[in-house]
Amino acid sequence: MSEDPSALPIPTPNPRLLIIEDDPATSNALRRIFARSGWSVAVASTVAEGCGHLETAPHPDWIILDLMLPDGEGTEILRMIRRDAIQVRVAVTTGMSDTARLDVVRKLNPDMLLSKPINLSELFKTLVV
């Protein structure tokens, strides 16, 4: 995450983002960068917290979803989103290199699949609301 946040594009007014990430340094950095760029940002660090955010309206426009969380895998959240047809776009982030597990993620059709460390320019190009 070495990009200059001031050089990142400004989203449409009041976009909502949910960051589901258990690493506090990563989630705090993303939260600050997106908040400075005009996003309304919520953060969850577990599958349970992430699901809790999705049980109430309004839903976020985007989710940045880590796959490896302390109480399960982010794929559980992505499955729930697809099963319940929740209108939210999902950017999955992972440090995982297991191709079989990544194939499972791809079959759940995330809007974006990024390797860690996250390339902010690539992330912002995709996060359009």
Residue 2 lies in a domain: no
Inside any domain, residue 41: yes
How confident is the model at residue 6, as a pLDDT? 47
**Domain encompassing residue 31:** 14-126
Residue 37 lies in a domain: yes
- Is the pTM here over 0.75, yes or no? yes
Residue at 25 is within a domain: yes
Counting the structural domains of the chain, the total is 1
DSSP code per residue over 38-54: T-EEEEE-SHHHHHHHH
Nearest to 84 by CA among 113, 47, 55: 55
Within-domain flag for 58: yes
Each residue's pLDDT tens digit, 42-61: 999 999 999 999 998 889 99
| 108 domain residue, yes or no | yes
Residue-wise pLDDT for 71-116, tens only, equals 999 999 999 999 999 999 999 999 888 889 899 999 999 999 998 8
Q: Torsion over CA of 126, 29, 115 and 46, rounded to 10 degrees? A: -100
CATH number of 84's domain = 3.40.50.2300
Cβ atoms of residues 62 and 112 within 8 Å: no
